Amino acid sequence: MESILDDWQAKVARKQGVVRSKVPQEWRIPESVTSQLQYPLEEHANRLIELDVVRKTGILTDREYNITENYTVAELLESLQSGDLSASEVTLAFSKRASIAGQLTNCLTETYFDEAMERAKALDEMRAQGELAGPLHGLPVSLKDSFRITGSEATIGYVSYLGEKAEKDSPLVEILLEQGAIIFVKTNIPMTLMTADSHNNIFGRTLNPHNTALTAGGSSGGEGALVAFRGSPVGVGTDVAGSIRIPSLCNGTYGFKPTADRVSYGGQAAPVDPGAGGIVAAAGPIANDLEGIQLWTKAVIHAEPARYDSSALDIPWRDIQSKDKMRFGLLEADPRYPLQPPIQRALRETVRLLECQGHEVVTLPATETRLDQAVEIAFAMFGLMSDGGVRIKASGEPPVPSVVAALALLEGLHRDHISDIVTLDGLKKLAALTVKRSAYQDAWRRLWNKYEIDAVIGPAAQHTAVPHDKFQVPAYTTLLNCLDYPACIIPFGKADKTTDNQSFEVGPNQLCAQYEPDLMNGAPCVVQVFTKRMRDEECLAAASVVDACINTDR
């Protein structure tokens, strides 16, 4: 047993040494800054963004700080295409800032700083000759660790995957490169990719830059933390139960989960065997502005992902116009998954602001939306996809706390709506769950017709970011994976312990983290917007309407 233990720890130590060696000495955070923080970082509420630690490090020049801090994605692309900014200076600026984020929040896994600068120089030469590589020319883009890059590892937090080098790029990586993007880092994830805390034994725990005592979310938590820290203009995550949207809500960014396979998902490292079936994950963007989400999505879908990935849908992008006046459905909270005071307030205010602008909002009763049913179906399907811990046991490493907590949580999950099939096994159980899922999707089809709505607004979770390993069942995001609907996260204000001071107790049959007003004070609040399957363009258009109403200062 000791030899196995020594073996996995030795592998991790070697990998961590490689990671540290790729950080240039001049990019190391000085002691004058680290001495102002409270350690261990994950146990104290270090508010890194509020402290403006990036500026205090002195690692970025004023121009580099401005590039990373004050440009939207559209402004970056316009400046790169016009020549006002070079790909080299933009890439260097974001590489420096990403490195700072990695040192403070553990958000990075693989880094490609030298390779990114070489590509940036080549793109600058192309620009000097009057040519552009594509609509994303010169834009630095970060990727979740699961995406494969030739000659690089995609461990997805498993020690047993260390040493496995990718033989070719994931199709989405090919697409992004052909569209002119620059891949410069990959980001941290949870062991198993199935918890809301991006923590594993190789790279450690990703921390929330708004408050390091709160989770950064998962499974694309490294992307959420990096983008919130403004260490990347656009990050790419994946989502099977909320893995783009949970980090977005925890870190206060925009995030978009498309309909499955509208964006290429194939060719990634995975915690399940190929062909496992069930609910299909989606790949999508995380950014600090909604227009950046739209530009990235349009560029990728315009590239015809099906030319690169046989699992991608061959459906062209549609340019549509937002309606002047829309009819929104409001997803009523499910009694089993109650909403904490900051989330209740954000939704009330969203409804008020939409109605002030002449939009209609009608409540979709919880008795009709049946959120708890979607959760039961989805997590039963996830259970069929599980490897039973084989990949963890293969190296001798222990499971991280969030994996242990998640397993315990799921053991206690209600099975009221699937009680008639819990004893089935294998294909029979998958078939029965597929029938139930289809019936649930059909019930929602009838809801759209009954209420004649254009889009739905609702919560993304019962709560804001919570303390590490305390994220509850992600009901309000899993709903959209069960339905395979596109969904967008829009930041809207922050929790306020003075305003959100109502008493909140979790009942015996309810699933929600405890409300801690002092600790959660200042945590980002968000709204989730979704539309019907394949209506990705309409989802982004509806999100634009909501964003314009609630974020007038952006």
Rounded CA gap, 247 and 188, in Å?
A: 11
Q: Confirm if 491 and 257 have CB atoms less than 8 A apart.
A: no
User: 3-state DSSP call for residue 233?
Assistant: coil
Element at 117 (helix H, strand E): helix 113-128
Q: Take residue 230 and report the two structure tokens written for it.
A: 């403004």
pLDDT cut 70: percent of the chain above it: 99
Is residue 193 part of an annotated ligand binding site?
A: yes
Nearest by Cα to 461 from 450, 452, 470, 453:
470
Average pLDDT over residues 252-277: 93
Look up residue 91 and give its amino acid: T
Tell me: the pLDDT tens digits for 510-528? 999 999 999 999 999 999 9
Give pLDDT, residue 412: 86
Give pLDDT, residue 34: 97
Rounded CA gap, 239 and 283, in Å?
A: 6
Element at 141 (helix H, strand E): strand 140-144
Give pLDDT, residue 6: 62
Q: Confirm if 117 and 281 have CB atoms less than 8 A apart.
A: no
Cis peptide before 517 (omega within 30 of 0): no
Q: Take residue 140 and report the two structure tokens written for it.
A: 């630095």
Give pLDDT, residue 3: 55
Q: Take residue 483 and report the two structure tokens written for it.
A: 């339905």
Residues ≥6 apart with Cβ < 8 Å to 381: 278, 279, 430, 433, 437
Q: Confirm if 279 and 381 have CB atoms less than 8 A apart.
A: yes
Rounded CA gap, 79 and 553, in Å?
A: 23
Q: Take residue 373 and report the two structure tokens written for it.
A: 């049913």
Q: Take residue 229 and report the two structure tokens written for it.
A: 């820290």
Q: What share of the chain is helix, strand, coil (3-state, %, to 5)?
A: 45, 15, 45
Average pLDDT over residues 236-260: 98
Where does the pLDDT of residue 278 fall: very low under 50, low under 70, confident under 90, or very high at 90 and above?
confident
The number of residues making up the chain comes to: 554
Look up residue 44 and give its amino acid: H
Mean pLDDT of the chain: 96
Q: Report the phi/psi class of residue 459: left, alpha or beta, with left for phi > 0 and alpha for psi in -120 to 50.
A: beta
Q: Confirm if 201 and 159 have CB atoms less than 8 A apart.
A: yes
Where does the pLDDT of residue 275 fall: very low under 50, low under 70, confident under 90, or very high at 90 and above?
confident
First-to-last alpha carbon distance for the chain, in angstroms, is 56
Please report how many Cα atoms fall inside a 13 Å half-sphere around the Cα of residue 427, on the Cβ side.
1
DSSP 27: G
Residues annotated as catalytic (active site), given as ranges: 144, 219, 243
Is residue 242 part of an annotated ligand binding site?
A: yes
Residue pointed to by tokens 């409540």? 363
Q: Confirm if 500 and 517 have CB atoms less than 8 A apart.
A: yes
Is residue 241 part of an annotated ligand binding site?
A: yes
Rounded CA gap, 489 and 477, in Å?
A: 10
Cis peptide before 248 (omega within 30 of 0): no
Look up residue 425 and give its amino acid: D
Separation of CA 446 from chain center? 30
Give pLDDT, residue 2: 44
Tell me: the pLDDT tens digits for 114-137? 999 999 999 999 999 999 999 999
Per residue, the 3-state secondary structure of 444-470, as one string, reads HHHHHHHHCCCEEEECCCCCCCCECCC
Where does the pLDDT of residue 553 fall: very low under 50, low under 70, confident under 90, or very high at 90 and above?
confident
Q: Confirm if 147 and 187 have CB atoms less than 8 A apart.
A: no
Residue 397, strand partner residues: none
Rounded CA gap, 339 and 502, in Å?
A: 12
Nearest by Cα to 486 from 429, 531, 425, 438:
531
Q: Take residue 467 and report the two structure tokens written for it.
A: 């303390």
Q: Confirm if 330 and 364 have CB atoms less than 8 A apart.
A: yes
Q: Confirm if 504 and 494 have CB atoms less than 8 A apart.
A: no
Per residue, the 3-state secondary structure of 504-543, as one string, reads CCCCCCCCCCCCCHHHHCCCEEEEEEECCCCCHHHHHHHH
Give pLDDT, residue 554: 66
Average pLDDT over residues 303-317: 98
Give pLDDT, residue 1: 43
Tell me: the pLDDT tens digits for 5-26? 569 999 999 999 999 999 999 9
Q: Take residue 25 and report the two structure tokens written for it.
A: 């000495």
The alpha carbon dihedral of 462, 467, 472, 474 has a sign of: positive
Tell me: the pLDDT tens digits for 147-182? 999 999 999 999 999 999 999 999 999 999 999 999
Where does the pLDDT of residue 74 fall: very low under 50, low under 70, confident under 90, or very high at 90 and above?
very high
Look up residue 232 and give its amino acid: S
Q: State residue 485 phi and psi, 5-degree precision.
A: -100, 150
CA dihedral 370, 371, 372, 374 (to 10 degrees): 100
Where does the pLDDT of residue 410 fall: very low under 50, low under 70, confident under 90, or very high at 90 and above?
confident
Average pLDDT over residues 280-295: 98
Separation of CA 244 from chain center? 2
Give pLDDT, residue 322: 84
- Lowest-pLDDT range of 74-83, 267-276, 350-359, 536-545: 267-276
Domains and CATH numbers, the chain: 12-31+47-307 (3.90.1300.10), 327-551 (3.90.1300.10)
Average pLDDT over residues 467-475: 97
Q: State residue 405 phi and psi, 5-degree precision.
A: -65, -40
What Cα–Cα distance (Å) separates residue 327 from each residue in 55, 330, 442?
44, 10, 21
Which class for 80: exposed (0-12), middle (13-18), buried (19 or more C-beta within 10 A)?
buried
Is residue 240 part of an annotated ligand binding site?
A: yes
Q: Is residue 277 over pLDDT 80?
A: no
What's the count of helices (H) and strands (E) in the chain, helices before strands? 21, 13
